[in-house]
Structure 1
Amino acid sequence: MLVANLSVLIDTVEKDACKNLIYRLYLVLRFLFDEMQGQQVTVNAQNQINANISLGSPVILKMNDTITMSSVGLLELAHREYQAGDYENAERHCMQLWRQDQTNTGVLLLLSSIHFQCRRLDKSAQFSTLAIKQNPLLAEAYSNLGNVYKERGQLQEALENYRHAVRLKPDFIDGYINLAAALVAAGDMEQAVQAYITALQYNPDLYCVRSDLGNLLKALGRLDEAKE
C-alpha cells in the first residue's frame, strides 16, 4: 500500500527536486517489497520441502535460490533507475551484480546501454562484446554495438551489426528503427523505407515509426504513400 501511495504521490508533486527524491524512495521501497516477496517464495519452497520430507518424497534442492531471487530484484531496480535516468545508481547496482556473475547477459546489456547514454562508447562496446561472447545469438547486443559504431560515424560497421541483429531476431523492432536511422545517415533512403515498413509489419501501432516513415516518404516526394 505504501508503494502504491508513493506512486500516486509522484504524479502530484510539482517540484522536480521533490519528485526525484520521492521517486528514488519509491524505487528503494519497491526493491524492498520485491525482496520481501522473494523471501516469502523461499519460505513457501521450504515449507514444500518439509512437506515432501514428511511424506518420504525425494527432494531436489536448487543452490542459491535466495541469491538468485535477490539478483533478479536488484536487476529490476537497476532497470527502473536506468529508465528514470539515474545512470549512476543503475551502474552501481549492475556492477554489484556483474561482480557476482560475469556471464549474466541481462546485466551486460544494461551496462552497455548505461555507458552509451553516458557517452562512454568504449565501455559500451566492451560490455556489448562481452554479451556477444556469452551468447552469439543475442540480437540486442549487436544492436547496442551498432549504436556505438553509428555514434562514432562508422556507418558501415553500424549497418552490419544492425542487419545481423534483425537477422537473428526478425521481430526486433528497435533493430529495424536503428537500422533505418543508420541507412538515412548513409543516404540509402529506399532501404530505410523498407526497414520502417518491416517494423510496422510486426507492429502496425508504432506511431513514432509511422511518423518517421511518413516524413521520409515526403522527403522522397512520395506524398501519396506518406498519407497512408
Structure 2
Amino acid sequence: MKLKSQLKSVFVQPLSCMTLSIITAIGISSSVLAVTGISVHSPEQSVERQPQKLAQLSNTDTPERSQLLQQANALYNQGDLTGAEDNLRKFIKKSPEDPFAHFQLGNVLFRQNKSEEAISSYREAIRLQPKYGIAYNAIGMVYASQSRWEEAITEYQKALEINPNYGEALTNFALALWQTNKRDEALSSLEKALNIFKAQNRGEKVKQVERILREIKTGDQPSLS
C-alpha cells in the first residue's frame, strides 16, 4: 500500500473549508487520501481544485498580521516551504497564543518531512485550544505516514471524541484500523463517514469513500490513485 509515501504530501485546505467543530482540515492529493483529511486533509491538488491557503484573513486582523499571513500563503503556493515556515514563525513570535498559527506551522513542517517538529506544533495548538480536533487528526496523519498505526489510531480517537461526526478523521481512523487487520471496525467507520459526507452533500468525498469500501469488501488493498 502506498499510504505511507502519500501521507507525506500533505497540505491544508483553504480555511473557508475549515472549522474547529466540523471536518475539513486536511487532505491528500490522491483520491483516497483527499477524503482522509491533514488534512495534514489538503493536498498539493485538492479534489475541488480550490486555491490553497495556509491561513485566511479576518476583519480583525492588524495590517502586520495580514501581511505575514499573506506572505506565508504566497510563499507556500510558490513552493517555498522554508519561506512560509519563516513567516509563520515570525507571526508566532508576535502572537504566541494563536493556536491556528501553530497548527499551520505544523502543516508546513510536515510537508518538509519534519515530522517530530510538526507534532510539536500540533501539540502546542492543542495546548492552547484543547478541543482542537483537527490538530489531533493531523498528528494521527503524521504517525500514519510513519506506519505507527496504533499511535495514529489513538490520535484519531481523540479527534472523534471531540467531534464524532468528523468525516475525515473517521476515514483516517478506518484506514489505520484496516492496516492493523481490524476489518470489521474499519468498515463500520467508513460507513459512518460515508453517511456523514452524504448528509453534508459532499459528493466527491462520497465517491471516494464508496470506492474505498468497494476495494476493502472485495479484498483488495485500497489504492491511492
What TM bracket, shorter-length normalisation? 0.5 to 0.7
Aligned partner of 1:185 among 176, 179, 182: 179
Other-structure match for 2:141: 147
Deviation, 1:142, is 0.8
Other-structure match for 2:209: 209
Distance 1:178 1:135, change over 3 A: same
Deviation, 1:77, is 5.1
Structure 1 moving runs of 4+ over 6 Å: none
Query: Structure 2 matches for 1:1-228, cutoff 5 A?
Result: 67=62, 70-72=64-66, 74-75=68-69, 78-79=72-73, 81-82=75-76, 85-204=79-198, 205=203, 206=205, 207-219=207-219
Distance 1:98 1:208, change over 3 A: same
- In structure 2, the residue corresponding to 1:112 is in which secondary structure? helix
Equivalent position amino acid for 2:108 in 1:
I
State the number of aligned residues. Answer: 161
Alpha-carbon contact 1:105-1:131 (below 8 Å) kept: yes
Equivalent position amino acid for 1:159 in 2:
I
| Higher share of residues assigned helix | 1
Higher relative contact order (CA 8 A, sep 6+): 2
Unaligned runs of 5+ in 1: 1-26, 28-33, 42-64, 221-228
Deviation, 1:148, is 2.3
Alpha-carbon contact 1:108-1:131 (below 8 Å) kept: yes
Distance 1:193 1:116, change over 3 A: same
- In structure 2, the residue corresponding to 1:202 is in which secondary structure? helix
Q: Please list the CA deviations of residues 13-68 of structure 1 after superposition, one character each: whole Å capped at 9, or x if unmatched.
A: xxxxxxxxxxxxxx9xxxxxx99xx9xx8xxxxxxxxxxxxxxxxxxxxxxx562x
- In structure 1, the residue corresponding to 2:218 is in which secondary structure? helix
Deviation, 1:167, is 1.8
Task: Look at both structures and tell me which one has the larger radius of gyration over its CA atoms.
Answer: 1
Tell me the TM-score normalized by structure 2. Answer: 0.62
* Matches of 1:84 and 1:210, distance apart in 2: 34
Unaligned runs of 5+ in 2: 1-50, 221-225
